[in-house]
Every structure is written in structure tokens, then in C-alpha cells.
Amino acid sequence: MGNLVYLNGELVEKENARISIFDHGVLYGDGVFEGIRAYNKKIFKLSEHIDRLYDSAKIIMLSIPLSKEEFKKAIIQVCKANGMEDGYIRPVVTRGVGYLGLSPWNCTEPSVFIITDSLQLYPVELYEKGMPVVTVPTRRNSNESLSPIIKSLNYLNNIMAKIEGKNAGVEEVIMLNNEGTVAECSGDNIFMVKKNKIFTPPVVAGALPGITMASVIELAIEAGYSVEEKYFSRAEMFIADEVFLTGTAAEIVPVVKIDGRTIGEGLPGKITRELTKKFKSYVDSHGTPIL
Ligand code: PXG
């Protein structure tokens, strides 16, 4: 893949792409980002990712200095310049360069950059055999402190959870909210299946409104399943028939063990497998061509 990034309106070699140490994105994690996937020279759900980026920015009162159309064009431009076929796209908007002091008003202009890269995926055998996960002590940020619907540059909450998962020897972890109900994972949304019905926690339980999640809900409804957004506990998950995770990088991952309890038969479940199959053709028909 090519070696260029988009940085404040220009295409620059990766090695030469620099931002200031006075950028509040660096000093305070003050900014927002997206994680987008390209499949076969098409960008999956580009408009949905751009909408979410602008929603995140709106919540933190960050005004992105490009229109949505301009932003999409910039993404396509850098993908094209890099000959992107399959991979990962990371748009980032920070508060920009200021001086020390929290106030965002001391920053002049937001910094905008777009990186394309290859994707870091979970090991293939986890898709075939299913993935063991644990719930972690770190609780998902509360809506009242830093709403999980903001995809902000402050990901320490998720990183702490990821570290706890690493210590327990698993690749992904389940995070609960302060009430103790299931919120989501460190970088994926979560679903459970019980008696052929599909459940996922509502966003207000402490989840990012996942674009893969929305796609899977659409597919499941199309396939005739009942899908309900519902609060559920760790214990309810232990006795689910199936559990699976969704995310841009992960796609759909079957979960077969949670905190030592075997889920269902301990193998990827029927509905999980059916949705995984449908998702593969779904991505083909929901991409913006890199032209
Ligand atoms: N929850 C959180 C906290 C996320 O960061 C998701 C759920 C899934 O949302 P999407 O829209 O992707 O279905 C995410 C997204 C990475 C990486 O580098 C992480 C995400 C996306 C792409 C790459 O680990 N997380």
C-alpha cells in the first residue's frame, strides 16, 4: 500500500507527517476519530462513519473545518493515492495547536488527518473455534462523565480494560457500566441470543453506536429474527445460547467462554454463523467505490 497520509489539506509522506506537541489532541486527548474499513476498493458505510465523526465533534463543540462532502472526498483522495484495496482508514480531528491550559478556545484551527493502513485482526482460529473473554474491573465511562457515544481521542477507559484483558490472557473484554449491567467491549459491541431472540444493550447502557452493530441488526431483522435493545447482566450472558461481538475490525466474532463459563455448546452458534455469512455479502453492496 502507498505511503501517504492526508494532513491539513495536503498529502504527505507518512515519515514526514508531523503534528505539534502543543496540539490539544496530544496534550489533552481533545479530539475525535473514526475507524473505517475498505473492502475490495470500496469504503464500507462511509457516510455513516462521517455522520458519527461529526456527531462526536458536535458533542465536544469541535467545529470540523471541512464539509461532510469535502471530508469524504479527502478520504477517497488518500485511499486512491495509496492504491487502497483492503484495509483500514483512520480519520482524526483534534482541537488543534494551542498553548498549555485546558481551554479549547486557545486553539486556533483544528488539525485534520487521515491515515490508511493494513488491519490488525483477531487470530483466524478465534472465528472458527470462538473466543474466550472476561469481564473486567474497569467500568465503562458513565454517560455523565464522558459519554461513550463520543468516539474521542481519550480512549484510556478502553485501554485500561484492554490491559486487564491482556493480564487475563484474552483478546477482548466485556465492560459493565456503573450499574453493573453489560455495556460493550473495549473496541466492539456485544450481542446475546436466547431462544432465537437477539439482544444487545441500548447505547444509553454505555456503548458506542456501532456501525457494524447497526448493520447486523438490519441483517438479523431481514432474516426474520426479533432484535431487542435491552439491559442485561453478566449472569444473563452466562446462560445465553450464543454471544457474539461486532466491530469494524472484528466484523462478527463468536464468544464461547465468559469468565470461565461455557456459552451454549462452547462453539460458534447457529445464528452467529448465519449472520456472519450474510455480513460477507452485505459489505459488498454497502461500499463507496474508491474512484
Ligand atoms: N465500541 C467501541 C468502544 C469502539 O471503539 C465499537 C464499539 C464498534 O463500532 P463499529 O462502528 O466499528 O462497528 C468500537 C469501534 C481498533 C479499532 O483499532 C477499534 C474500533 C474500530 C476499528 C478499529 O482497535 N472500534
| CB-side neighbour CA atoms (13 Å) of 189 | 28
Higher pLDDT, residue 284 or 79: 79
Q: Can you give the pLDDT at residue 179?
A: 97
- Report the amino acid identity of residue 66: L
Q: Are 277 and 133 contained in the same domain?
A: yes
Cβ of 264 closer than 6 Å to ligand 1, yes or no, is no
User: What atom in ligand 1 is closest to the CA of residue 207?
Assistant: 1
Task: Provide the pairing of β-strand 173-176 with 131-135.
Answer: parallel
Q: Which of 95, 117, 139 is the last residue of a domain?
A: 117
What's the rounded mean pLDDT across residues 94-105?
A: 97
Q: Can you give the pLDDT at residue 2?
A: 84
Count structural domains, the chain.
2
Q: Can you give the pLDDT at residue 60?
A: 98
Catalytic residue list contains 72: no
Does residue 1 surpass a pLDDT of 80? no
Three-state SS for 91?
A: strand
C-alpha cell recorded at residue 182:
453489560
- Asked whether residue 249 is assigned to any structural domain, the reply reads yes
Does residue 132 surpass a pLDDT of 90? yes
C-alpha cell recorded at residue 189:
459491541
Question: First CA to last CA across the chain, in angstroms?
Answer: 16
**pLDDT tier at 127, thresholds 50, 70, 90:** very high
Q: Are 214 and 99 contained in the same domain?
A: no
Q: Whose CA is nearest to atom 6 of ligand 1?
A: 188
DSSP secondary structure string, 143-169?
TTTS-TTS-BS--HHHHHHHHHHHHTT
State the Cα–Cα distance between residues 251 and 50, nearest whole angstrom: 19
Q: Which of 117, 150, 165 is the last residue of a domain?
A: 117
Cβ of 254 closer than 6 Å to ligand 1, yes or no, is no
What's the rounded mean pLDDT across residues 46-73?
A: 98
Decide if 85 contacts 41 (C-beta within 8 A). yes
C-alpha cell recorded at residue 191:
450481542
Comparing CA positions, the residue from 225, 189, 208, 86 lying closest to residue 150 is 208
Q: Are 173 and 239 contained in the same domain?
A: yes
Comparing CA positions, the residue from 27, 58, 28 lying closest to residue 147 is 58
How high is the mean pLDDT of the chain?
A: 97
Q: Are 107 and 136 contained in the same domain?
A: no
Measured in whole angstroms, the distance separating CA 70 from the mean position of its chain's CA atoms is: 23
Cβ of 36 closer than 6 Å to ligand 1, yes or no, is no
State the Cα–Cα distance between residues 37 and 47, nearest whole angstrom: 12
User: If 0-12 CB within 10 Å is exposed, 13-18 middle and 19+ buried, where does residue 67 land?
Assistant: exposed
Q: Can you give the pLDDT at residue 205?
A: 98
Radius of gyration of the chain (CA): 19
Q: Can you give the pLDDT at residue 121?
A: 86
- Catalytic residue chosen out of the listed positions 151, 194, 195, 280: 151
Decide if 259 contacts 287 (C-beta within 8 A). no
Does residue 120 surpass a pLDDT of 90? no
Cβ of 211 closer than 6 Å to ligand 1, yes or no, is yes
pTM of the model: 0.97
CATH number of the domain encompassing residue 82: 3.30.470.10
Q: Are 257 and 211 contained in the same domain?
A: yes
**pLDDT tier at 145, thresholds 50, 70, 90:** very high
Range of the domain at 135: 124-284
Q: Can you give the pLDDT at residue 239?
A: 98
Q: Whose CA is nearest to atom 3 of ligand 1?
A: 187
User: Which residues on adjacent β-strands are paired with residue 12?
Assistant: 5
Q: What is the pLDDT of residues 226-277, one digit of tens each?
A: 999 999 999 999 999 999 999 999 999 999 999 999 999 999 999 999 999 9
Measured in whole angstroms, the distance separating CA 277 from the mean position of its chain's CA atoms is: 21
Q: By percentage, how much of the chain surpasses pLDDT 90?
A: 98
